[in-house]
Structure 1
């Protein structure tokens, strides 16, 4: 026992009895023993698991929680019951009237050790240091509710506006139940100003990613707040920020690992902080390029690589806005022996001028499946050229020594049929959820799975005359007795009709309009578009019978939700990427598997 590190005597009592003025408490790094730890699953929403830990100083024990960025020490089996560790950074929150230690950074000294001493429980203390069970004397501003579940008790002091002190809270501790807080955070990403126009009106917005030692959070400013804050918030700088609104995060529009996000308002206070030594720079979670085949399409990841090749600047024209968007493609490689194409857009594509095979770290790049696996920068992604981090130095040395002459393998050929878009019964969303979640809004399309029943099909213009050349399919124009394809520069005696189907579908939650093309029509009607057009030209009644026979049929759909602007009106269109008739054998098997794996079956 004498060879074990000495625990910091009395630290549990100091934390439990701490009053706000004892800020020196947070400058020490106590050594404690971890008596136990337990996973606390999220109660709702897309939140992360949390881990509750009991810490002991040998005399008393105290409840604590791991910050979410520390989850890996449990998941990677770096700690065990009895582990002795030094808490390098921590905070203290007030949860349901009791003090809770939040561990932000931890260093393991001894993984396995016998229990030290006979630690006892401490009497819970309130925010003022008094016993939590003591009666509270009413005051003019002591109104609280049980919903105020997490009010941080830690209070670092920093000179604020007008000479008053500001209470600095870690980002990890923010929640919608708090109103008076200040965070000290670095801007790690700042978007351009974007505008929108729809039936609800017009507006503009921009977003930033903020980071401190405890984690990250996304913040968005709208309309008047854009004018107030856009020029004041700069990439890489540190700010004291307060009086912003904390909301549940919309995960579809952000890759930031936080269950909450901030909304900047006109009253939001932002002050640049020149003392930034305690605020870290960007954190990465790199994966090897060879591992991209295991990453789901449309998800995001962090990669680092050496630029092997650079394409010339080119451009595409947006179908939605008709704007010309500059693009440039980089081929990056790493020590895994693989290469991948990274697409830069807009200003990044125009301003890229590195010609000396730089090392670039990409944070939050979007994974695509074009020709295997590819990467693309989004508005929330960041690019760091020759960053001063160990991974970049290691890559630089490897490439200069051997990598420049190495042959690299691409991910070409790993794309599955159907463009990588599959139907997953476990991911089915009801139509009301699709609309409430605003899938397809803002600057990127979203894929989703649904099961719905056809309620109505637009029977006029159900197909169009197309070029019969394999791989073309463009609309042809009738010129006399022939049909002309401008793309192929050929004329044909007759066209090949292709479906263009618009249908109203419904499930138990609501209704939506889906659009599909040739393969969708063939699945729904059981015949080619040429055959259906022939029926329509021959007998209208029989044509209507075929259309009506499809009403009431239920299908599994994989759809792509995307914002579309037509005649100055913006709306979301739901395009069918894949349609599958119901297989009752597969549906029954899926339900049986659910029962077998459910807690009820156990």
Structure 2
């Protein structure tokens, strides 16, 4: 790459600019990075590191901050000391009378370069001396006030008193005296004069409370711009003021709201701060705003849910394959009935997941014809494997006009509708947390000789074994097709009767009931498993396998023979059982996993490394 030129004079122009409508803010200056300093979270709800940087235009250097969405550039070493980049989008914060450059978007032009020029500290107008920008970079960008007893005061670790503030703080004014537009990502409790331009992407119902301190009401909205999201909450009188004015999907200019530390118990957004709307808060609608995105997704495929911890928040997009009936549960806390509805959602990963809707979302869901649905902010549960719950702060988008939805629709209409899908019940720990651990693999001979399962309690173990034989008798049973039931049904006349549901059906849904002999180098044992085990082995549903058995017995036997010789990793339970007055031990499969040779090789390589280190 040819030598690049820095934008000389940029730092001086930035500090002399009076407002953000200056043409400077529409430019894309070329700068050089002189240093990086990681600023760890300050405690409380803060969980995200920040990076303070010094940038140079060749003449002067300027204190700056990277927006958190650019953190990966530093962490992945895509940008280094003396790297040269073009700042594609930026804004400015006024901190204690000094300009702080906030870099929102950038593109690296030259990763490795020599230092250009001999940049010097910028002398601010109205001051002849003071600490240099480089010295300021070694201390927090904002000096924290002394601790306060108010709950809304952020937790800080630096209690040094701030220097005396000027009698009249400089503000950045635009047309009509309006304050400059700040990105949501840059808001903090240390700023007083700001305006954000944001879209309402979610709005809750009005909720009420009553306790010893009195009664009240509240609602909250999720606000979003290009830099991020933030939650805003209104209480009591502010509810009357703003509930009807703030509408989902519309864009507003909002100012004079209070910035507090986020209460993570009530918010699932990736922002350490939240807003409180007060009666003095100013809200103005922007009817023709097109520069604010409608919504941002970070999708996780359904197969990937097994990698997320319980209670994690995620975005998921999929096809609604089944819609459950509207039902109710009684809340233990309030003793009130809450409507709920379960959806079965699938995607290209060939996994399915149960998504539970609550309240009005459950009552109002009426989409038909297996739509594409995007869930934003769904909560991960671990009931029967992995499940999702749509909370009041979550959003549902039916057939959204986004590329991911169009690709998913085309895939499902062409091949997805004919495929079978695996639930998470056989890929996640279940039934007492039985999980597969390579370090805990035991041979079948060891399992038998250690008398596992002969005590009153259930013993668990991990094994790697090869299928030697599968019993073809009673390989599946006719089950109730009602979601969540699965009980055996009986043929009565022309219909199948489920005693539990007290319903009759024209046909059952077959479910696997597998009994197979497996072997390893030490011996043989009989393992048993249910529906998900059969799906993992045959890669088709029990309905499809039983249909093959009825139509073509030869093909059915070929499918059984094809499964012979396959090796799997198993997590099992050993349980004592009595049959015909004889005590025996049954080995039930809790989890079955096909061999992943890359993971196996990586595990063995790590064992070798640890062995070398221990010498």
TM-score w.r.t. length of structure 2: 0.61
Match of 2:379 in 1: 366
1:221 aligns with 2:238: no
- Deviation string 1:371-391 (CA, Å, 9 cap, x unpaired) is 000000011111112222222
**3-state SS in 1 of match to 2:23:** helix
The gaps in structure 2 that reach 5 residues or longer are: 132-144, 146-160, 436-499, 501-615
Superposed displacement of residue 134, structure 1: 7.4
C-alpha RMSD over aligned residues: 3.0
Change (3 A) 1:401 1:106: farther
1:40 and 1:303 mapped to 2: Cα distance? 32
CA distance in 1, matches of 2:123, 2:223: 33
Q: How does 1:176-325 map to 2 (within 5 A)?
A: 176-325=189-338
Task: Report the alpha carbon displacement of residue 53 of structure 1 after superposing the two structures with TM.
Answer: 2.4
Deviation at 1:253, TM superposition (A): 0.9
Cα–Cα, structure 1 residues 178 and 63, in superposed 2: closer, same or farther, change >3 Å? Answer: closer
For residue 92 of structure 2, what is the aligned residue in structure 1? 92
The reply on whether 1:146 has 2:162 as its aligned counterpart is yes
Partners of 1:298 and 1:51 in 2: how far apart? 29
Task: Return the alpha-carbon distance in structure 2 between the equivalents of residues 421 and 101 of structure 1.
Answer: 52
SS at match of 1:355: coil
Aligned length: 405
CA distance in 2, matches of 1:405, 1:254: 39
* Alpha carbons of structure 1 residues 332 and 75: separation in structure 2 relative to 1, 3 Å: farther
How far 1:325 moved relative to its partner? 1.9
In structure 1, C-alpha distance between the alignment counterparts of 2:202 and 2:319, rounded to whole Å: 22
Asked if the contact 2:171–2:193 (Cα under 8 Å) also holds between the matched residues in 1, the reply is no
Distance 2:129 2:21 in 1: 22
Contact 2:194 2:255 in 1 (8 A): yes
Mark the CA change 1:326 to 1:70 in structure 2 (over 3 Å): closer, same or farther: same
Deviation at 1:212, TM superposition (A): 1.7
8 Å Cα contact 1:240/1:273 also seen in 2: yes
Distance 1:236 1:153, change over 3 A: farther
Structure 1, gaps ≥5 residues long? 136-143, 423-486, 488-602
**Aligned residue number for residue 350 of structure 2:** 337
Give the C-alpha shift of residue 59 in structure 1.
3.6
In the TM superposition, residue 417 of structure 1 has moved relative to its aligned partner by 6.1
Whether the 8 Å contact between 1:90 and 1:104 is mirrored in structure 2 is yes
Aligned equivalents of 2:244, 2:16: Cα separation in 1: 44
Q: 1:233 Cα shift?
A: 0.5
Cα distance in 1 for residues equivalent to 2:75 and 2:328: 44
- Is the Cα contact below 8 Å between 2:38 and 2:50 reproduced in 1? yes
Deviations 1:23-44 (CA, angstroms, capped at 9, x unpaired) = 2211112222334433211232
Please name the residue that 1:8 is paired with. Answer: 7
Q: Is the 8 A contact 2:12 2:122 kept in 1?
A: no
CA distance in 1, matches of 2:76, 2:116: 28
**For residue 63 of structure 2, what is the aligned residue in structure 1?**
63
- Find the aligned partners of 1:175 and 1:188 in 2 and give their Cα distance: 21
Aligned counterparts of 1:95 and 1:244: Cα–Cα separation in 2: 18
* Distance change >3 Å, CA 295–CA 21, structure 1 → 2: closer
Question: How far apart, in 1, do the equivalents of 2:367 and 2:123 lie?
Answer: 59
Tell whether the 8 Å contact from 1:23 to 1:156 is kept in structure 2 after alignment: no
Q: TM-score, with normalisation over the residues of structure 1? A: 0.62
* CA distance in 2 between partners of 1:247 and 1:64 (Å): 23
